[in-house]
């Protein structure tokens, strides 16, 4: 993991895209946030960017129905984009709505724009069939990913690491996920370090040693 410091100085909403919409101009690396409805994607974006109002949060699952792009500025002139994808697995949505959201997500994953995926899973529960299917999409498109186990504050501190790693294993991934809480900030520093490893250019290394995947 990249230990260099990355601080998001400013973040702003760029645009929303639906079926048939053109994506915004590509600027820097794009890190997509995926997960089931109400897993905490918007809360994670707000926590990373230090703003409670950047991405709209809701207690009602299924609210995010478009792909939302957020431009993040760091350093002197650095920029990358966080991309909030619609939540999947919303039981009250019609089959047509669910199919449309699935097609929207898959189209973006196949676009060639995605630098990295933050896949969110609820630390309190086993991964759903929809979670497993989404992870298969991530693997199919050969996208680098980081697993994030959200709502960590809902478990006793002594149980969080084990629960996060167990969820990753049940998903079919290596048994490691970052335990994260938007309420307490747990995991935020580790995620920012992960982002640094994605967006910052490699440091000069005379031996050509590669960073951690």
Report the C-alpha gap between 205 and 58 in whole angstroms: 45
Q: Average pLDDT for residues 41-54, to the nearest whole number?
A: 91
* pLDDT tens for each residue of 86-97: 888 765 566 767
Residue 12 reports pLDDT greater than 60:
yes
pLDDT band at 4 (very low <50, low <70, confident <90, very high): low
What CATH code is assigned to 8-18+26-199? 3.40.50.300
Q: Average pLDDT for residues 197-208, to the nearest whole number?
A: 67
* pLDDT tens for each residue of 20-38: 889 999 888 999 999 998 8
Instruction: Considering only residues 160 and 76, tell me which one the structure prediction assigns the higher pLDDT.
Output: 160
Going from N- to C-terminal start, the domains of the chain cover: 8-18+26-199
User: Which of 196, 159, 213 lies closest to 48, judged by CA?
Assistant: 196
139's CB contacts (< 8 A; 6+ apart) are none
Alpha-carbon distances, residue 49 vs 7, 12, 115, 167, 192 (angstroms) = 9, 9, 19, 26, 10
Q: Dihedral of CA 152/157/159/165: which sign? A: positive
Query: Can you give the pLDDT at residue 210?
Result: 40
* pLDDT tens for each residue of 103-137: 889 999 999 999 999 999 999 999 999 999 999 99
User: Would you say 119 and 145 are in contact if contact means Cβ atoms under 8 Å apart?
Assistant: yes
Rounded (5°) CA angle 133-141-18: 75
Alpha-carbon distances, residue 174 vs 2, 51, 171, 188 (angstroms) = 20, 32, 9, 21
Q: From the centroid of its chain, how far is CA 80?
A: 13
Query: Can you give the pLDDT at residue 55?
Result: 83
Query: Can you give the pLDDT at residue 211?
Result: 39
């Amino acid at each position: 993991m990249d230990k260099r410091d990355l601080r998001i100085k400013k973040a702003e909403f760029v645009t929303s895209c639906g079926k048939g919409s053109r994506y915004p101009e590509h600027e820097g690396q794009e890190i997509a946030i995926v997960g089931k409805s109400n897993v905490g994607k918007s809360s994670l974006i707000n926590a990373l960017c230090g703003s409670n109002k950047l991405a709209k949060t809701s207690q009602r699952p299924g609210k995010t129905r478009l792909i939302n792009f957020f431009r993040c500025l760091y350093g002197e002139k650095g920029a990358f984009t966080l991309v909030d994808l619609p939540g999947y697995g919303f039981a009250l949505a019609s089959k047509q709505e669910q199919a449309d959201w699935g097609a929207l997500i898959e189209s973006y994953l196949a676009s060639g724009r995605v630098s990295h995926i933050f896949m969110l899973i609820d630390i309190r529960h086993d991964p759903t069939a929809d979670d497993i299917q989404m992870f298969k999409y991530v693997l199919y498109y050969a996208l680098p990913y980081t697993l994030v186990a959200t709502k960590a504050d809902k478990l006793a501190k002594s149980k969080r690491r084990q629960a996060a790693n167990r969820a990753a294993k049940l998903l079919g991934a290596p048994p490691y996920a970052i335990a994260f809480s938007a309420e307490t900030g747990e995991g935020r520093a580790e995620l920012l370090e992960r982002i640094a490893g994605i967006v910052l250019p490699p440091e000069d290394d005379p031996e050509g040693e590669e960073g951690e995947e």
